[in-house]
A and B are shown apart, each in its own frame.
Chain A
Amino acid sequence: MEFPRFLLQGDTGLVVEFAADISPVILAAVHSLQKALSDQPPVGVLELVPTYRSLLVVYDPGLTSPELLTKAIAKLLPRQVPPLPQGEVVQIPVCYDLSLGWDLQQLSEMVGLTIPEVIAEHSSSNYLTYMLGFTPGFPYLGGLSPRIACPRLATPRTLVPAGSVGIAEEQTGIYPLDSPGGWRIIGRTPLKLFDPSLEQPFLLKAGNYLRFVPISLEEYQRLSVGR
């Protein structure tokens, strides 16, 4: 299959697909095109949505067409893509206390590590935020240690509290809202990932790196005040 591919999504979306797989290099290409398009937006472009391996370009069909957009985008396609800058690593305080990390005990038994080993493994690397979605501000993170990868719960919970940090297969993520979910919950952050009342309503951004920093239950409670 030849990349990049241009795919229609209805009469308002054009998908520019860079690859069939996931890697930091592909993500860099997606973000490089996003930057080029936001610096010099072709007529009719309304919104840009970067995901793992493609950029969704939302447009006004009254002002442009897939043909015109494809031509305009082809000119902006990155020839050489610099790697994503690591930039500032966002620190996410997480309390791994068993009262908040509902599945931590079971996960540690399933992967054959002690609880402190699981916490050390989870909080010792920088994770790349590949994209945001599912619910507002939910980060799809890459970089989980395979030593603590673990399948989802057989039956999803009807309510996972906002801030819960979970593991599903080789992914880890944070629930921004109270929502149903099947990820194994190992801790909770007192930070709000989505707050519509703020001028910057989202804590994270696709393409950024983050790191989990263990905190005590006391600290979690102190930071939760005013949430």
Chain B
Amino acid sequence: MKLYVEEPGMLTTVQDRGRRGYRAYGLPAAGAMDYRSLSLANTLLGNPPGTAALEITLLGPTLSISGSGTLALAGADLGARLNGWPLAAVEAFAVKAGDILSFTAPLNGCRSYLAIAGGFKLPQVLGSHSTYLRGATGGYQGRALRQGDILESAASSPTSFWQGALPAGLSGLTPPLASPHYEAVVRVLLGPQDDYFDSANIALFFESNWQVTLEADRMGYRLKGPVLQHKAKREIVSDGILPGAIQVPPAGAPIVLLADAQTCGGYPKIATVITADLGIFGQLMPGDSVQFAATTFATAAAATQAWESFLTELAIWLQRQQGSTPKRYRVRTAGGEHLVSIQTIS
């Protein structure tokens, strides 16, 4: 199966879980800004959770399809349409030659992930498919998609057994995504340089509502709110940075560093977002607001583990549905027309 890029959208890049092992050389990890959504889209197709997919930002692409196979979306609701028919924000769906996948406008969230059963046929660069835009490294020729690009499935894209939205109400499964995130609460661990701030300023950091500014990209989000005062020194001897670190430059407005974050820097880091909540930032847009809440290492590690367990349970549940082929209907209601898929589940 091939996907032809008719329109590239605002910023569509290939991302997987990120590139590991090169931070010592100054090369950021890159990778999906919302790993939960990437891993969900892949799991719906029976792919390994970290398989490379398209990260679609706000204004989605228009893709035409040759061959047949299965695709899945997860993450933000960017108004996905298959031949004009609405798709859910989280949905696996079969496609055939001549189909057109398009996106109307962002309705909820910022980034959606489009995975393909079997993964994309692309070379790995330094152990990953992720696109690091500033370094022109990885992904599709080291850059965002452009009109005329052609993406190919790695295997003869298998028709996946599950087609449809995320099955609702499976017992024992954690809800997959907290949405919408417009007033998000993000959990952090204090440090490594919280000792550069007195208790009044630490309290201010946690009590304040922070607004995402227009300076928000894959490298980091600048936040607007009250000015955080450093105790005395406003800079440190540059040290290592991981995605999630919250820097406070001398002017006192925090910057949350994300997937493409530089690997080292000289501003004190008041706190660091836990791994399980990093994807919330991936779904925030300029104007959205966010509050920070302190948590512990044990809670953070358990939250990451809970997501991994959810994916495993979902994968097992989906395998049990094998052999039950969905039937699709077009249903007209007062609210408009819908594509409904009916499948026997056990």
Contacts and interface: CB of A to CB of B under 8 A. Distances in A.
B254 to A, nearest CB: 15
Interface centre among A53, A132, A176, A179 (most CB of B within 10 A): A132
Contact of B238 (A10, A46, A133, A136): A133
A209 interface: no
23 contacts: A7-B191, A10-B242, A10-B245, A10-B273, A13-B272, A21-B237, A46-B20, A47-B23, A49-B23, A49-B264, A52-B237, A56-B23, A56-B242, A58-B23, A61-B301, A62-B301, A62-B305, A62-B308, A134-B262, A135-B134, A136-B135, A179-B134, A196-B142
B221 to A, nearest CB: 16
Contact of B272 (A8, A20, A46, A49): A8
Contacts of A131: 238, 264
Nearest to A52: B237
A140 B238 contact: yes
Nearest to A50: B24
Interface centre among B28, B142, B192 (most CB of A within 10 A): B192
Contact of A61 (B28, B135, B275): B275
Given A11-B304, A133-B262, A134-B26, A54 B20 contact: no
A53 B304 CA distance: 30
Interface in A42-78: 46-56, 58, 61-62, 65-66
Contacts of A137: 25-27
Given A55-B240, A135-B134, A197-B125, 14 more contacts: A8-B191, A9-B191, A51-B237, A51-B239, A52-B238, A53-B237, A61-B300, A61-B304, A132-B24, A133-B238, A137-B27, A177-B135, A196-B125, A205-B25
A153 interface: no
Nearest to A11: B300
Interface size bucket, A side?
Answer: 35 or more
Interface string B34-70: 0000000000000000000000000000000000000
A127 interface: no
B242 to A, nearest CB: 5
A9 B188 CA distance: 10
Contacts of A202: 25
A2 B245 CA distance: 24
Contact of A8 (B20, B189, B237): B189
